[in-house]
Amino acid sequence: MKKEEYNRLSKEILDSAITVHKEMGPGLLESVYEYCLISELRSRGIKAEGQVYLPLYYKGVELDKDFRINIIVEDEIVIEVKAKDVLLPVHEAQIISYLKLADKRLGFLINFNVSLLKDGFRRFVNNFFRY
């Protein structure tokens, strides 16, 4: 995927998240925002899958453990949805780890439990410019 397409999708993700936040408001469960965001993205013709299985490998061996990524957009962008009073460094570490484990270049950490969504929207890159 080219940088321009990442940027276009980033704008759509932000706009979709703002739309969901305006419609639903803060204070709900993360799963509610996840389902609503997936629905909003799909209504815009964007491929979005929820609860995507990510196997755990250690030294090249698949272990009997997996992760669940909240949303993957167009098989390329990771979205981690939160509904927290405060985002902690561990939440940022989680999205960074998911980007590395899934070998994805772009991810968003979106906290819907805020008054203004822009205050809960964070972008993360993993070797974004190498492609």
Distance CA(42)–CA(74), nearest Å, equals 10
pLDDT at 131 over 80: no
Evaluate whether 87 touches 113 at the Cβ level (below 8 Å).
no
Type of residue found at 26? P
What is residue 128's predicted lDDT score, i.e. its pLDDT?
A: 53
Distance CA(24)–CA(36), nearest Å, equals 9
Tell me the pTM: 0.92
Distance CA(98)–CA(119), nearest Å, equals 22
pLDDT at 96 over 70: yes
CA angle 128, 87, 42 (to 5 degrees): 60
pLDDT at 129 over 80: no
Distance CA(44)–CA(58), nearest Å, equals 38
